[in-house]
Structure 1
């Protein structure tokens, strides 16, 4: 009797790439939520760089933002005082002259595809990503409260990397967040990797690079995101 098929032994189907002439003009924004001191230390950020490289090779315009490099003030919860105080542009951006969240807003509002990369921190996304999520509340409120929909025909994907369980929890929370903002999810919305239980992080990057399923998901996430962005722009 043959052994049962377990997991993804058969792999997954490759999502076809669009012709370069169709990809031309599509913008892909990568946002890193890693707090590592040096960029090359972050595995989620390295995967994000690979995703942006693939998008660029397909013919897309790419932009990269590292949240750690920006001075972003905490959300001050103005919604709790009065919902009309939490709308775009954000009160904190206007209140603090050195707040740099506006750069993130501008990049998101001008992109077609957003790929957010985060490590897993105690079963959740990183603190930097949480700050980003809370500061995006003004975008969502602009639609819910005032009918001013700022996120239209945009696609969002995720890169989630960790060494403990929590992948589905993190991905579920963030995809729900993007849905509330108005983003569309591609056929393959998540690229992920979770390390061995031995927690030997010194060998992680080598394993990530060798993991064919993570690499397939990365390519398919970019391909399906760009394909969906093209169809949304085409109408």
Structure 2
């Protein structure tokens, strides 16, 4: 049984720049690989993603390419840095675009993101990790993703300006690494569970695609 994980990095840096958020995401990837999970990281800043709340905004919009990867995945992790205590603008945009497909349904007539699980990775040298995680996980739950317990992992530095995750050797932080492990294994467990026992259609078939 093949399980696929897609990790969307909402860093504002393009793919040729080092990303603290992606560095922490690689800790999850290493566990996925040990458990035979197919993984892919997508740097959202490398794509031309149009503003809007539909699955395809046309006019050279590259979101549909990312959306196809989301549809093929069993596990979705959205990673974001913190800016002014909030998730990044790209993280917000990704959720808006995912929400644009919330009227689509699967073969059972359920919301299209049913039987997919999701988690969140956050990095920053300022406060806001739990706020960003709560916002992202609620948004993903609201559009149909299953959110297992403890599927947020984060690293933040001391108050005020200072070194970020890589420079501060965040991968040696016991709390962050423990929560990365808990998140990743819970995502794997629930993804396998939903593969074997998908959510039944009784009581949650969408009428008229809304």
TM bracket (short chain): 0.7 to 0.9
Matched, 1:109 2:86: no
Aligned to 1:152: 114
1:63 to 40, 52, 63: 40
Residue 137 to residue 198, structure 1, CA distance change in 2 (3 Å): closer
- Please say if residues 104 and 111 of structure 2, whose CA atoms lie closer than 8 Å, have aligned partners that are also in contact: yes
Select the structure of larger CA radius of gyration.
1
Q: What aligned pairs does 1:89-104 form with structure 2 within 5 A after superposition?
A: 90-92=55-57, 95-96=58-59, 98-104=60-66
| Residue 142 (structure 1) shift | 3.4
Residue 202 to residue 140, structure 1, CA distance change in 2 (3 Å): closer
TM-align CA RMSD: 1.9
| Residue 30 (structure 1) shift | 0.7
| Residue 53 (structure 1) shift | 2.2
| Residue 63 (structure 1) shift | 1.4
Residue 26 to residue 38, structure 1, CA distance change in 2 (3 Å): closer
In structure 1, stretches of 5+ residues that fail to align are: 1-23, 78-85
Residue 91 to residue 223, structure 1, CA distance change in 2 (3 Å): closer
- Please say if residues 75 and 191 of structure 2, whose CA atoms lie closer than 8 Å, have aligned partners that are also in contact: yes
Matched, 1:180 2:142: yes
Aligned to 2:194: 232
Matched, 1:124 2:91: no
What CA distance in whole angstroms lies between the structure 1 residues aligned with 2:6 and 2:174?
A: 24
SS in 1 for 2:96: helix
In structure 2, stretches of 5+ residues that fail to align are: 198-210
- Any idea what the Cα deviations from partners look like across 1:101-155, whole Å, max 9, x if unmatched? 0111111111110011100111211111111111122222336xxx652112110
Q: What aligned pairs does 1:38-77 form with structure 2 within 5 A after superposition?
A: 41-75=18-52
Residue 167 to residue 202, structure 1, CA distance change in 2 (3 Å): closer
Aligned to 1:134: 96
Residue 47 to residue 202, structure 1, CA distance change in 2 (3 Å): closer
Name which of structure 1's ranges 40-49 and 211-220 shifts more when overlaid on structure 2. 40-49
What CA distance in whole angstroms lies between the structure 1 residues aligned with 2:164 and 2:196?
A: 45
Number of positions where the alignment pairs a residue of Structure 1 with one of Structure 2: 194
What CA distance in whole angstroms lies between the structure 2 residues aligned with 1:149 and 1:33?
A: 24
| Residue 188 (structure 1) shift | 2.0
Aligned to 1:32: 9
Residue 123 to residue 109, structure 1, CA distance change in 2 (3 Å): same
The normalised TM-score by structure 1 is: 0.76
- Please say if residues 29 and 62 of structure 1, whose CA atoms lie closer than 8 Å, have aligned partners that are also in contact: yes
The 4+ residue runs of structure 1 with deviation greater than 6 A are none
Residue 232 to residue 205, structure 1, CA distance change in 2 (3 Å): farther
The normalised TM-score by structure 2 is: 0.85
- Please say if residues 113 and 225 of structure 1, whose CA atoms lie closer than 8 Å, have aligned partners that are also in contact: yes
Residue 117 to residue 55, structure 1, CA distance change in 2 (3 Å): same
- Please say if residues 140 and 180 of structure 1, whose CA atoms lie closer than 8 Å, have aligned partners that are also in contact: no
